[in-house]
Structure 1
């Protein structure tokens, strides 16, 4: 962009490199560009390909989005080339988070280049970064610009993290088997094994752990909060976070491609994440042959992998239901014995031919959930999957396994009444009869979950339409950014 072309407010966007974190922030980046902002998305070489769909879309739509690729220096203890959460085991999670602080100086150098150049977007007036990158508050402060926290999770989850790190390490070191979270609008407690992986990894006086605690607590000092939720879903937690933090809180979700909200375009939507491993026409033809809300969809996200014993119980329960299903089965990651995970019982696929569809690898989840034949979703309760299901009016059966999934499952079952509790834990072997009963309950519409799913789906669509709460919040946020731009000019 030449110097004589009128510049727009410029925002630096810094996602954390994990599937569930990057996808919604890139969706928000596209939305902000549509509202007249210029945006630079910062990532590392190993994650560069994840930006390609957004950059291609921006170029075809005439939007101002560019990539800033900064190499990540090697970190002792991390395998070479590991720059994404999907590439590491859980015990290295803190080390990966810690390693990204090495990008602080390159960011500062790039910022000075933008200030001294008459070309390009000009220096950014603020930074939006993932809540796992709390240390960027210090970087933004040094640069003289505000830092806004992006929460890829919901408001309930965001506040639990806020409370956890504010009172760490006391919450995790108490003799009580449960962790009681203070300052929420109603009493909330979780068993210690259900607490976010971050809380369980923390070790007092360990330098990396203490940096993570320091970094997470900086989120509360940041200029504002953007949360991937909508008011009708979590208004009580949005309002409470605003009161306790004293910072602006904008609900801007659900963050999805526009086609998700238009039934006429859903079959043409570009899938989010990795390429699918099944021909779309095959499963769409199969779904078209099913009755309305007659299919149960089973998927546990991008990382969970079921043991053969878990698979055996799931298969037996499915067979007993006599219901139609789509089941996504992940191959075990490298280092795990392939013959101990994801192996279906002998003869199961032959017996289920015509009634069930097995997908190995990556499924086109949005297309599946948007189909009128799908009446329920067994999920690990990651927030992206949770929002997708709610937005598309599909009630859930919950099987949380790690991270924030226990928080989301509690929200779905006890507070939103849109989920049926089934199983908990990554290694727990489910009961085939419990599984059969849960499927029958959803597909027979015996509880209130289907009605609540339909109500919340309508509310989600309204929230993102012009005049809706999330749409107005995005407009209000963009207005604040434009004020910063005028002040800096």
Structure 2
């Protein structure tokens, strides 16, 4: 076990809250959890941030900067025995999982971290609380063992969590023969329709036990933490708290932690595949609000045929653009089209193709960016909301379709590409419907040159960004919620019965 410790000079950890953060190992979950750790540490809270060797390498910049600032964060590397779990060596994050069968082993094997984490905590001052990603249901038993509260971190919006909970509680889809049959999500402040196919789920009977453990651990948690802000989801946060009887702390957008440092923003998640001076110079040469960014997150697998259609639609639109092609999506077929096919040459005056990890927040934050084609992962959507960039929504799986409803129908800062069915997660190149270049072109034109409707959409996005920034500032709702969370931890701990031995 390796520990990158930041000490608290002259302070006793017994008089200081000690929060243990257990992130899920996927970029969209790790990134906000790192930011939350740093925000807590800025308030003087001792944080133990649990990771594994591969994930620690990805967050190396965050570790180094935290150490340089003297923040009281202990980045604790627990061994992740891939071979023992039947996983390829180094398969320590969901985006590194090569197949659905391997994914089942990954999810079901996460609880192997419980014993090494318990051993670590027994050697430290007793934790005050565990903040665990909801994808780690085994941490509930750990919290019981140490007699401390467990808060569940949801790497999505409260709207999505409330919708999914209500669909499950009311058993709305039971007996549906047609997966494309639509229904109204019950228990919401207003009408939201979705189909059975678009409801988040885990595929395969191998994950049934894991799915049931998720639900049970979520129901028994002592509260929930969201990377969101109250003004964005007032009705849904209030409804969730009323329905569950639990407190929900909205402490975001936590990406604002990095907003004063370009290099810090660029390093969120992994090492960028392009030098910051290069893409910033390219963006500096563009008109404000003229560039559209296309990025589908870290977990999707987009076939070359779909990327080609996207590229041709972008070319036809006439807009400057940045096209991100993840490492998993790179292929000889795609390179032949980009180079021998002449796409990069034809569009070189107004395009930038990034092969690999893109510094998404740093790009979205630039004034030249005026639109974002997103898969509707919450981390990506909240980053766009935080900087006032309207979106084209292209949901793929999991909670993406629910988040699309929030963006398009509730907040009205996006337009839909009209994808209707989920793709199968971890099935390479599996898209149920190819979105044609003409559809891409039409959506880009509607977002970027949308007349009066487009101007109103951009104004709504701008106002949301202002509200997000105020929420994160001192005295804002998220700043106050973080203060409340730290204070409430001691109250929650007092109310939790000891179920295990004291940590030494």
In the alignment, is the contact (CA less than 8 A) between 1:306 and 1:342 conserved in 2?
A: no
Q: Does 1:383 align with 2:391?
A: no
Q: Secondary structure, in 3 states, of the residue corresponding to 2:392?
A: strand
Q: Does 1:147 align with 2:150?
A: yes
Q: Secondary structure, in 3 states, of the residue corresponding to 1:397?
A: strand
Shift of 1:107: 3.0
- Mapped to 2, the partners of 1:52 and 1:276 lie a distance apart of 13
Pick the aligned partner of 1:83 from 92, 96, 99: 92
Unpaired runs of 5+ residues, structure 1, are 115-121
State the match for 2:439 in structure 1: 434
In the alignment, is the contact (CA less than 8 A) between 2:107 and 2:210 conserved in 1?
A: no
In the alignment, is the contact (CA less than 8 A) between 2:39 and 2:257 conserved in 1?
A: no
Q: Does 1:103 align with 2:113?
A: yes
Deviations along 1:307-356, one digit per CA (max 9) or x if unpaired, are 232233222222222221111122436xx964368943812211112121
In the alignment, is the contact (CA less than 8 A) between 1:45 and 1:71 conserved in 2?
A: yes
In the alignment, is the contact (CA less than 8 A) between 2:256 and 2:469 conserved in 1?
A: no
- Mapped to 2, the partners of 1:371 and 1:337 lie a distance apart of 30
- Mapped to 1, the partners of 2:123 and 2:264 lie a distance apart of 41
In the alignment, is the contact (CA less than 8 A) between 2:407 and 2:413 conserved in 1?
A: yes
Across the two proteins, how many residue pairs are aligned to each other?
A: 471
Pick the aligned partner of 2:295 from 299, 308, 328: 299
Pick the aligned partner of 1:271 from 246, 267, 288: 267
Deviations along 1:114-143, one digit per CA (max 9) or x if unpaired, are 3xxxxxxx1101100001112311221122
Q: Does 1:456 align with 2:452?
A: no
Pick the aligned partner of 2:358 from 356, 363, 378: 363
Q: Against the structure 1 CA distance between its residues 49 and 315, is the aligned structure 2 distance closer, same or farther, given a 3 Å change threshold? A: closer
Q: Secondary structure, in 3 states, of the residue corresponding to 1:232?
A: coil
- Mapped to 2, the partners of 1:342 and 1:13 lie a distance apart of 44
CA RMSD of aligned residues (A): 2.7
Q: Secondary structure, in 3 states, of the residue corresponding to 2:255?
A: coil
State the match for 2:196 in structure 1: 192
Pick the aligned partner of 1:38 from 31, 46, 55: 46
In the alignment, is the contact (CA less than 8 A) between 1:305 and 1:341 conserved in 2?
A: no
Q: Secondary structure, in 3 states, of the residue corresponding to 1:256?
A: helix
State the match for 2:249 in structure 1: 250
State the match for 1:124 in structure 2: 127
Q: Against the structure 1 CA distance between its residues 91 and 340, is the aligned structure 2 distance closer, same or farther, given a 3 Å change threshold? A: farther
Q: Secondary structure, in 3 states, of the residue corresponding to 1:132?
A: coil
Q: Against the structure 1 CA distance between its residues 297 and 337, is the aligned structure 2 distance closer, same or farther, given a 3 Å change threshold? A: closer
Pick the aligned partner of 2:413 from 397, 403, 418: 418
Q: Against the structure 1 CA distance between its residues 278 and 109, is the aligned structure 2 distance closer, same or farther, given a 3 Å change threshold? A: closer
In the alignment, is the contact (CA less than 8 A) between 2:59 and 2:270 conserved in 1?
A: no
Shift of 1:192: 3.0
Pick the aligned partner of 1:339 from 333, 352, 358: 333
Q: Against the structure 1 CA distance between its residues 11 and 349, is the aligned structure 2 distance closer, same or farther, given a 3 Å change threshold? A: same
State the match for 2:220 in structure 1: 221
Shift of 1:15: 0.6
Give matches, 1:474-489, under 5 Å.
474-483=482-491
State the match for 2:426 in structure 1: none
Shift of 1:12: 1.1
In the superposition, the TM-score normalised over structure 2's length comes to 0.86
In the superposition, the TM-score normalised over structure 1's length comes to 0.88
State the match for 1:401 in structure 2: 396
Of 67-76 and 363-372, more deviation after overlay is shown by: 67-76
- Mapped to 2, the partners of 1:473 and 1:94 lie a distance apart of 36
